[in-house]
Chain A
Amino acid sequence: MKGNEALAEAAIRAGCKCFFGYPITPQTELAAYMAKRMHKAGGVFLQAESEIAAINMVLGAASTGVRAMTSSSSPGISLKSEGISYIAGSDLPAVIINVERGGPGLGGIQPSQADYWQATRALGHGDFHLLVFAPASVQEMVDMVVKAFDRADKYRMPAMILADGLLGQMMEPVSFPEINPDAYDKSGWAANGHGFKREHHIINSLYLKPDELQNSVYERFERYEKIKQTETDAELYLTEDCDILVCAFGATARVAKSAVNSAREAGIKAGLFRPKTLWPYPVKEINEACKTAKKLLSVEMSMGQMIDDIKLAINCSKPVEFFGRTGGVVPTPAEILEQIKKIGGAE
């Protein structure tokens, strides 16, 4: 199944009842799949007039306690950032998919990971975070969409799948897990008509009194602390004895894995650290992975964004080198191997 279509099918199976989107390459197959399937699945598919409208439709649907999502690619995500901030400020669950392409500006339509900072630091104004999942295969896209809906509901916050054009267009076999959708009781806050049976519910992100706004942000950050303790996830590959720890996520991690294998064949003790959650960042896991490492190498399809989190996570205790390609250029295993050798040779 194609990555973009697998994302859509997984969402429907996870109980997503609404998809609101706006056309943009390279995620169009997702919306097309939704258009075909959603009505039959008893849900809502609507092509909105803009990315801005689409994310606000998600806000409206999520306000009534229904699982809702939108998908886009980099420039479209920028347009959605206002709505994402309101969703976070209103403590609403929602799933947002970013099938990244190159930027800035209109950029290109080839794969990129240059929205890492945007996803993990600045997806809208104000103090807030999203859960950010980084799949590296079509199967993981499926599994992470299911998890994203679950965790978004559990923590009442937006969750993002940060994929890229390569994963979106990739075809791989997938299996769909048994899903128990929507196990969460939303009757305590959903705004879907009180039926004269309860007080009216208000979905709101406005607090004009500074101490009230501060308290609402404090409450959210207490939740974030719990999430940091329990929700991190990463793959550690050949890290037990590694001298060089290659760090990469998403599609880049697949290329990096080939390079690590080649390095091992060449007698270099390389290992791979692949974060599956970008927020919260797997701090404990990377420290575990780099125990024996003398140097780290961050490989990204950007000019170096995740490298900031790596340095923070290990408290700059070891040198962290960088290798990246950008603008839609995908790094090759040979290039990465060369970097590994260069770093190893400098010992």
Chain B
Amino acid sequence: MAVVFERPKSLIDIPTHYCPGCTHGIVHRILCEVIDEMGIEGDTVGVCPVGCSVMAYDYFNCDMIEAAHGRAPAVATGVKRTNPDKFVFTYQGDGDLAAIGTAETVHVATRGENIVVIFINNTIYGMTGGQMAPTTIPGQVTQTTPYGRDPELAGYPVKVCEMLSTLTGTAFAQRVAVDTVPHVREAKKAIRKAFENQKEKRGFSIVEVLSTCPTNWGLTPLEAIKRLQDEMIPYYPLGVYKDVTEGVFSHSEKGGNE
């Protein structure tokens, strides 16, 4: 009998530690599908920093490095600079990428470091039990915003693709979601594009994936998907924010900083 659907070879066949309904699994899968389709598992080094995906080194079959909270872009820089012909990616959450690692994130992009960043935005700190993230939406209740995020007290969320698309070193920035089959397909296309950019040495690529965290949102997996659609996508619009191959630039760059 012909197998029509199987596990990607670069995704190791063991149970993950992720909660039921968490969309990390989907993103892991499409990332590994891209790695398989491009045949690059043997030439890829992944960097997973502190966060829910810190143990992803047990799931991805390429060489893996675990990094400190926020430091994956710096670690990836060290890898890429010494191995410019290898594929290097980081897989980071929102607290990691947009709070403690903001400097590393901005500078890896502005250097045009030729790597891929997969950014999981679920508007909350998952592993530590549901605290306010830099991407927590105003009004959202978390463990550390028990009355809802009040921008007067806790400031506003960071919109990562919008911010990084202003930097000349960024070659590609796209925000995707994994709530529906068409969106998952779109997400996979974006990840493929990011890796193709790396192959062609175009510079820094980031794919921001709007994801769910049913456990810390206190919702069922289906309710979580609905929240992603009703609250997250309107606040974090999907789309291509920068693509040097398609002539998509941010307003600031159009304004003539190049």
Contacts and interface: CB of A to CB of B under 8 A. Distances in A.
Contacts of A20: 78
A60 B81 CA distance: 9
Q: Which of B41, B54, B68, B81 has the most CB of A within 10 A?
A: B81
A203 B78 contact: no
A257 B128 CA distance: 55
Interface in A48-84: 48-50, 52-54, 56-64, 66, 68, 82-83
Interface residues of A, number: 40
B228 interface: no
Interface string B101-125: 0011011000000000000000000
A113 to B, nearest CB: 29
Contacts, number: 133
A83 B49 CA distance: 12
A194 B64 contact: no
Nearest to B84: A44
A201 B78 contact: no
Interface string B122-150: 00000000000000000000000000000
Contact of B68 (A46, A49, A86, A196): A86
Nearest to B68: A86
Interface stretch (B55-63, B187-195, B244-252): B55-63
A36 interface: no
Interface in B55-94: 55, 57-58, 60-68, 71, 73-83, 86
A208 B184 CA distance: 32
Contacts of B81: 18, 44, 46, 57, 61
Contacts of B42: 193-197
A152 B68 CA distance: 21
Contact of B76 (A44, A48, A60, A201): A60
A295 interface: no
Contacts of B79: 60-61, 63-64, 191-192
B252 to A, nearest CB: 20
Contact of B41 (A48, A62, A66, A196): A196
B74 A48 contact: yes
B55 A62 contact: no
A66 B68 contact: no
A188 B67 CA distance: 20
Q: Which of B60, B67, B80 has the most CB of A within 10 A?
A: B67
Nearest to B67: A56
A201 B64 CA distance: 6
A61 B76 CA distance: 8
Interface string A21-56: 000000000000000000000001010111011101
Q: Which 7 A-B pairs have the closest CB atoms?
A: A60-B78, A56-B74, A60-B75, A191-B63, A61-B78, A49-B107, A57-B78
Interface of B: 41-45, 47, 54-55, 57-58, 60-68, 71, 73-83, 86, 103-104, 106-107
